[in-house]
Amino acid sequence: MSEPFIFIGTHTIREGKLEDFKKSCGELLEVVEANEPRLIAFNFYANEDETEVSVVQVHPDADSMLFHMQVAREHITQATEEVLDTRDMQIYGTPNDAVLGMIKELSQAGVPLIVKPNHLGGFTRSNAG
């Protein structure tokens, strides 16, 4: 297996919007799980007081990330318009121009995008027990 393509987005949950976020998150998880069989991992993590959340995605390649953004486009747009403010986004792996274009299109203005394309080593276990 080649190196994975990892995306981490960190967001602040707007005041009073935690329950809306949790509902939207559950709906998105269902859509992604049902429609993206190549996606290796898709997880949300919140800080202790649930005011900040990070989404951690592990894809087999950049094309899988592009497909994810196409599948989740409506959810991403709604979340950034109504519930979340994006703090930063990080990419580990080499993005293609289509991925970078889609991220720019779906992102809030001025959000930092950190890209670390050079995989120096490691491994991924998909069936570890």
Q: What is the pLDDT of the chain when averaged over all its residues?
A: 93
Tokens of 64: 């899988």
Task: Count Cβ atoms within 10 A of the Cβ of residue 13 and give its class: 0-12 exposed, 13-18 middle, 19 or more buried.
Answer: buried
Which residue is it, tokens 């990419």?
A: 91
pLDDT one-digit tens code per residue, 38-55:
999 999 999 999 999 999
Distance CA 52, CA 56 (A): 13
Instruction: Look up the pTM and report it.
Output: 0.93
Confidence of residue 127 (pLDDT cuts 50, 70, 90): low
pLDDT of 32: 97
Confidence of residue 108 (pLDDT cuts 50, 70, 90): confident
Rounded to 10 degrees, the C-alpha dihedral 26/27/32/33 comes to: 60
Domains in the chain, start-ordered, CATH in brackets? 5-116 (3.30.70.100)
pLDDT one-digit tens code per residue, 49-88:
999 999 999 999 999 999 999 999 999 999 999 999 999 9
pLDDT of 25: 95
Across 1-129, the runs of DSSP E, i.e. the strands, are 5-13, 41-46, 52-59, 84-92, 113-116
For range 80-109, the mean pLDDT: 92
Contact status, residue 124 vs residue 1, Cβ threshold 8 Å: yes
Contact status, residue 5 vs residue 91, Cβ threshold 8 Å: yes
